[in-house]
Amino acid sequence: MSKNNMAEKMFNRYYRIFIIPMIFLLYYLLSYLVNPYSESWSTMFKQSWRELIIEWTIMMIFCWLITELSLITARWMDRRIPWERWPIRRFIAQLFGQIISVGILLSILYVTLSLIFGPPENKPATIPEKLDEWQFVFVCVMLSILISAVHTGNFFLQRWKTSMLEASELELKAAELRQIAMQSQLQSLKLQLDPHFMFNNFSTLSALIEEDKDTALSFLENLSRVYRYMIVNLNNDIITLGAELRFIKAYIYLIRIRHGNNVDIQITVPDSITNRGIPPITLQLLIENAIKHNVASGEQPLHIRIYQQEEGKLTVSNNTQRIPNVIPSTKLGLENIKNRYGLLSDQTPEIKEENGMFMVTLPLLDF
């Protein structure tokens, strides 16, 4: 069963308990407001209790019939002339439909009462009596329109609730899809790091095995430690700066074996910021990027610094001494870092080159 059907059933139970008595009271209230000087008021209070109960019972049944007929008419038009497609046509059709249905109901009531209590006296009706008859018809039509308005209001309220729920569900699904897409992109970006990293280090390991087996064994142990860190953090989007620095210190050993004193890496980071966050393997990628694009030799050593230049940010800098290269750089490493930051926060790394220095400033993230 749909939510709309359940809401409609609840509404039907509600109006049967409360709306019909309210329509009964509204009938007498509207009748009094339309013509408070009608003789029917004085006549009504002169009746016996038995006559009053009979009249009220008949009116209660009549109010119930008006309510049912009004709702049946409105539901029928919901299927034939829905509000969403033809609002003006529906308004006009429902207005005239209510008037016609009340007219038919009054005719049936007149015939039924004539059969029960006998036909009315065959004498010309006075002007007050005709006025009372028109007043009765007018009030019945007004009640029918009021019931129809309540039904229409409930219809639009339920549609509004349904549309709000559907909008919330769609927004939630969109957020879930964005999260899935972000995780997929992050995984893709992380996997870009492996081939270049492994190629360089396995080449070094292959050369060490022939030259110095003890150093090769130590290199392999550190390489496995570094690679284990990369695998463990493959599913982590953010890690602490302290964990990344511990990884970098192990990674520096591999750099010293590969490049000796040609590459000098210095880390100056206060303990107060080591609990802040950073995308994993970011520092390793920046160090590898600096070594890849710059000359590193005994005559021209490459100096890499990792330090806090300003509050809440970490800077990785190196002196620029570009390797002459006909093939232009793809800037894959820097794009990787910027893309990961773009997915994780609204902060972006600052990249600048000035005074013979290349600097990347990384915002530190919160968990």
Please give the helix or strand (H or E) that residue 352 lies within, else none. strand 350-354
Confidence of residue 1 (pLDDT cuts 50, 70, 90): very low
Please name the fold of domain 238-363: Heat Shock Protein 90 (3.30.565)
Report whether 179 contacts 343 (CB < 8 A). Answer: no
- Residue 339 is classified by DSSP as H
Q: Is the pLDDT of residue 242 over 80?
A: yes
In the chain, CATH 3.30.565.10 sits at: 238-363
**Rounded distance between C-alpha atoms, residue 35 and residue 136, angstroms:** 10
| Three-state secondary structure readout of 1-62 | CCHHHHHHHHHHHHHHHHHHHHHHHHHHHHHHHHCCCCHHHHHHHHCCHHHHHHHHHHHHHH
- In whole angstroms, give the CA distance from residue 176 to residue 321: 46
- The pLDDT of residue 76: 82
Over the chain, what is the mean pLDDT?
77
Handedness of CA 74, 77, 79, 81 (dihedral sign): negative
Please enumerate in sequence order all residues whose Cβ is within 8 A of that of 69, keeping only pairs 6 or more positions apart, or say none.
101, 102, 105, 144
Question: For the whole model, what pTM was predicted?
Answer: 0.50
Q: Which of 96-100, 182-186, 212-216, 281-285 has the lowest mean pLDDT?
A: 182-186
Give the sign of the dihedral formed by CA 195, CA 340, CA 251, CA 331.
positive
With a cut of 70, say whether residue 192 has pLDDT above it.
Answer: no
Of 82-91, 255-264, 291-300, where does mean pLDDT reach its minimum? Answer: 82-91
Per-residue model confidence as pLDDT tens digits over 262-316 = 999 999 999 999 999 998 888 988 998 898 889 999 889 999 999 998 888 999 9
Q: What angle do CA 46, 47, 48 make, to 5 degrees?
A: 125
pLDDT at 177: 59
**Three-class DSSP category at 292:** helix
Structure tokens at 321: 């001494």
List, in order, residues 6 or more apart from 244 with CB less than 8 Å away: 278, 280, 281, 282, 283
Contact call for residues 243 and 277 (beta carbons, < 8 A): no
pLDDT bracket for residue 317 (50, 70, 90): very high
Per-residue DSSP letters for 190-244? HHTHHHHHHHHHHHHHHHHHHH-HHHHHHHHHHHHHHHHHHHHGGG-S-EEHHHH
The dihedral over CA atoms of 307, 249, 223, 203, expressed in degrees to the nearest 10, equals 50
Whole-number Å distance between alpha carbons of 221 and 227: 10
Highest mean pLDDT among 147-151, 191-195, 326-330: 147-151
Q: How many Cβ atoms from other residues are within 10 Å of residue 94's Cβ?
A: 23
The residue-averaged pLDDT of 107-131 equals 65
Mean pLDDT of 93-98: 79
